[in-house]
């Protein structure tokens, strides 16, 4: 990163001990009204798709950034792309249930702690996604 800060990137599957910090960062980053939105299947990111949620961990195990993604099968046409977040998550779950191999990954959110904003972790999160 810009200032030489070192960090480790790990998925939630690799570091399940970070689950609470994912929730806290989301609560701090999202406007209150979005925390009460009817986002179907959001919880599936933390269990079904833990391997696709990434955390950047700095000194003393501090989580400095997170990224949420969901894998799904896509036929390559614009008509086959889900239109909304609920569509992406629904498709990802359906594909998993039906054993369809995902060939696309949707970036859903990248969140950086206020102290680290402007220092480069958002670019690192996007690359990791």
The answer to whether residue 76 scores a pLDDT higher than 90 is yes
User: CB-based burial of residue 42 (10 Å sphere; 0-12 exposed, 13-18 middle, 19+ buried)?
Assistant: middle
Tell me whether residue 1 is in a domain: no
Structure-token pair, residue 109: 């959110």
> Which strands sit side by side in the sheet containing 8-11, from one edge to the other?
8-11, 53-57, 63-72, 104-112
Choose between 58 and 78: higher pLDDT: 78
Structure-token pair, residue 92: 């990802």
Predicted confidence band at 111 (pLDDT cuts at 50, 70, 90)? very high
Q: What is the pLDDT of residues 12-55, one digit of tens each?
A: 999 999 999 988 888 888 776 665 566 778 888 889 999 999 99
Tell me whether residue 100 is in a domain: yes
What pLDDT is recorded for position 36?
57
CATH number at residue 118: 3.40.630.30
Tell me whether residue 96 is in a domain: yes
Predicted confidence band at 100 (pLDDT cuts at 50, 70, 90)? very high
Q: Could you give the maximum distance between any two Cα atoms of the chain, in Å?
A: 46
| Number of DSSP helices (H) and strands (E) in the chain, helices first | 5, 4
Structural domains in the chain (count): 1
Tell me whether residue 40 is in a domain: yes
What pLDDT is recorded for position 37?
64
Choose between 103 and 59: higher pLDDT: 103
Tell me whether residue 93 is in a domain: yes
The answer to whether residue 94 scores a pLDDT higher than 80 is yes
Tell me whether residue 109 is in a domain: yes
Please name the residues in contact with 13: beta carbons below 8 A apart, sequence gap of 6 or more.
50, 51, 53
- Domain of residue 87: give its range: 8-128
Beta-carbon neighbour count of residue 65 at 10 Å? 26
């Amino acid at each position: 990163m810009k200032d030489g800060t070192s960090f480790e990137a790990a998925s939630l599957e690799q570091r399940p001990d970070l689950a609470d910090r994912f929730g806290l960062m989301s609560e701090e980053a999202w406007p209150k009204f979005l925390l009460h939105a009817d986002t179907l299947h959001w919880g599936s990111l933390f269990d079904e798709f833990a391997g696709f949620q990434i955390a950047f961990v700095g000194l003393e195990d501090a989580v400095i950034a997170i990224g949420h993604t969901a894998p799904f099968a896509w036929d390559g046409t614009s008509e086959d792309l889900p239109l909304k977040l609920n569509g992406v998550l629904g498709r990802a779950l359906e594909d998993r249930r039906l054993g369809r191999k995902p060939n696309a990954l949707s970036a859903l959110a990248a969140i950086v702690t206020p102290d680290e904003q402007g220092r480069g972790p958002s670019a690192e999160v996007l690359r990791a996604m």
